[in-house]
Chain A
Amino acid sequence: MSKNYVCGCDVGSTYGKAAIMDLEGNILGSSIVRSKIDPEETSILSVEEAIRNCSGNCSIKGLDDFACIVGTGYGRNRVPFANENISEITCHAMGVHVTNPNVKTIVDIGGQDLKGISIDSDGSVKHFAMNDKCAAGTGRFFESMIRAFEVDFEEFSNMSLSARQIVPITSQCSVFAESEVVSLVAQKKNPADIAAGIQASVAKRCFTMLKSAGIEKDVTMTGGCAKNLGLKKALEKILKFDIVQLTTDPQLMGALGAAEIAHRKVLAQRSAG
């Protein structure tokens, strides 16, 4: 029986993501699961979950039904069933390109890194800039901020939208910024104003990465933090134009790009006979 499905598996530092496609390029299912310590386990869990989430009359029963699986993300070399491993920078660019070909620049906020990616007209990477040395401006940074406020992500993401002013956060380092925020909360400063300060500080870091990669319209955000509305607003304020909202979950872009690359490989192999 011919295998008519492909899969992309993005093993990130905080979440594992998987996307399944048929050979017409339709997304059949996807998943986002919390990362385990072992990247191998994360990859298995995310693909199993994506198979379960597959819609319609999809007949995928297991890994054997995939014509190609591409692993990506920091744990890509630990995806045991991957036919190929491809850098998440390339996969994010491709994922965004197939979702919205007008997007030329991405800011990707991952769990432990922050990237600016400039995309070429064919969806390949033109330039990129990356910070993977410091947690400032990454998902981990937001996690520590949320901990200081004792709220959930969604609440935090909307908090700054009602700010009357911005309380500047002077520390860039996640550890120092967390204690700065705790002190500000203890001083009874308006939480919305503090949150606006946090979002502004991360937006500045995102802008630096974008500038380094080269800003060209349209710009979008990917990664889990792309769902942070406060950050989106803060970055738009610095960029002085709107950030494009993707129609597919921005957290899935790496997995989707990996699936698209797998899809193209299978089509190329089959057309070559």
Chain B
Amino acid sequence: MLKYRGNIKDQWIDFKYWGLNWLSILGLVATNPYKVVIALFKYPWIYDLLKTNNLVKRYNEGRNGTALLLSNINIYYVIRGTVRQLKTIVYGSKDTFLENCMIPTEIYQAMGLKVFVAELPAALLPMEDQHTCDKYMDLIENNGLPGDTCSYPRITAGVFAAGEIPRDVKGLISNNLPCEAGMASHGYYEDNLGVPTYRLDVPYNFKEEDALNLFVEDMRGLIAFLEKNTGRSMNWDKLREVLTRYNQMNEIELERWEMAASDTPPLANENIWISHFWNYNLEPGNKDSIEWYNEMHKHLKKAYDRKEPALKNLRFRVVLWNPPTFAYAHFWNWLEQCWGVACLNDMESFGHFEDMFIDTTSNETMLKGLAKKWCNTTMSRHTRGPVENYLPDLWHMFERFRADFILVAGHIGCRSSSAMSGLMKEEAQKRGIPICIFDYELMDSRVCSHQGIRDQINNFMVNVMKAAPLNKSLLVIDDDSEW
């Protein structure tokens, strides 16, 4: 049931997007219900995606006005994107490839290829329901994968082991992103699928021209691989169209940052990272992506002109390092309602986008621009390579968004980020910047419970920030009855 928001306008927004979400989902079924039924048997995790409207409810608790609208827009477009992905596996295509996330998808778009992102269930299901992926993690652990591996590849490998990831694919495209743990699991899929595989190697020393040139050659290799295995040719004009849309999106992204740095930031928390994550990593340059960004931007500008901040009680501005809490998706809403904290940018959304407009004058410049963009993308830049790749970015983010403190999501399953957290803490202390490193597991809430996360934040807010909660009753919430 939709809860009454206190005014007709907000109620209409809730109702409208509730309806649009269901319409999008029904759009998947309408084409061929029989195939959908078959797919539900083959990929039963699709059922869990039907909990989406429940997720919207948890995201939007206590929100009104533009913040409520933007949150609804975000989820609506995520559903549309997910439905597009699901259509690939439900209705099949002879040229479907399985890929690991964060591969230059602009190339597939230009070639008109269908791809299914292997990590999609891992990325979306824990957000819908924190325990829905426990069975996949248990399964793969019983098959021998250590339980302390990052839950992102653990869930993906579990879904794969359960036979719930499409296997009748033309090929597998793998890479060394978002991290080494993910890359290690790709060998398992390769062995099991027995299909042609292409491995992209995204260099971390991307500031060197030689490394970029090497990656350009690597992308040429990917194009040749796709052409050989599909009989299709690369359509460079189509690539130009895709990259032009990406450039438009990039312009909007930079405008969004300017607004976020203002006294009344109209966009905050998960509304920032969800839209960035999807549009920069999964479908950059897609027609839907630019439509999504334009739609958000239209409302953002109005809110910015009205000086309407994303939070009614904005008390603390923060920037986040490390991936957000997927298994506690509505954590941001809790931070907002309990402490008045607005996260204005995060590691996944931050990059040097001023330098990442892609020159579309020639095939060569387009590939070079793509190489630069993907070397600087989420986690490519920030969780690998030397300290120069990430620490200066953290201080830059802190200053640019005029943050009061830094929040570091200390992912227990990530060895390299725990080492980085130590470095960040020492450096932040030297600079006199308050920093809160809280333990969590990216997608496995059995390791650190939601209340466990809240307790750590509560301790920091009370002791270091000397703050009192906006709402005391939210300090400790029963996990069964939390929003």
Chain A residues within CB distance 8 Å of chain B:
77, 86-87, 89-90, 93, 118, 124-128, 130, 133, 212, 214
Contact = CB atoms under 8 A, between A and B. Distances in A.
Given A125-B464, A126-B464, A212-B425, A87 B439 contact: no
B459 interface: yes
Contact of B459 (A93, A126, A130): A130
Interface in B410-452: 422, 425-426, 429, 434-435, 439
Given A133-B439, A212-B422, A87 B429 contact: no
Contact of A90 (B429, B434, B463): B463
B429 A128 contact: no
B445 to A, nearest CB: 15
B459 A87 contact: yes
A89 B422 contact: no
Chain B contact surface mostly = helix
Contacts of A87: 459, 462-463
Interface residues of B, number: 14
14 contacts: A87-B459, A89-B459, A93-B463, A124-B466, A125-B463, A125-B464, A126-B464, A127-B429, A128-B464, A130-B456, A130-B459, A212-B425, A214-B426, A214-B429
A86 B462 CA distance: 8
Given A212-B422, A212-B425, A214-B429, A127 B459 contact: no
Given A87-B459, A128-B464, 7 more contacts: A77-B476, A86-B462, A89-B463, A90-B463, A118-B429, A127-B425, A212-B422
Chain B CB count within 10 A is highest, among A93, A124, A125, for A125
A114 to B, nearest CB: 14
Chain A contact surface mostly = mixed
Nearest to B452: A133
Contacts of A214: 426, 429
Contacts of B476: 77
Contacts of B462: 86-87, 89-90
A87 B455 CA distance: 11
Interface in B440-483: 456, 459, 462-464, 466, 476
A88 to B, nearest CB: 9
A87 B429 CA distance: 22
Chain B CB count within 10 A is highest, among A89, A118, A124, A127, for A127
Contact of A128 (B422, B426, B459, B466): B459
A212 B418 CA distance: 12
Contacts of B464: 125-128
A22 B338 CA distance: 35
B220 to A, nearest CB: 47
Q: Which 9 A-B pairs have the closest CB atoms?
A: A125-B463, A89-B463, A214-B429, A87-B462, A90-B463, A87-B463, A125-B464, A127-B429, A128-B463
A147 to B, nearest CB: 29
Chain A CB count within 10 A is highest, among B426, B434, B459, B466, for B459
Contacts of B434: 127
A128 to B, nearest CB: 6
A43 B153 CA distance: 47
A118 B426 CA distance: 13
Nearest to B466: A124
Nearest to A86: B462
Nearest to A127: B429
Contacts of A126: 464
A118 B476 CA distance: 26
A86 B459 CA distance: 10
A212 B425 CA distance: 7
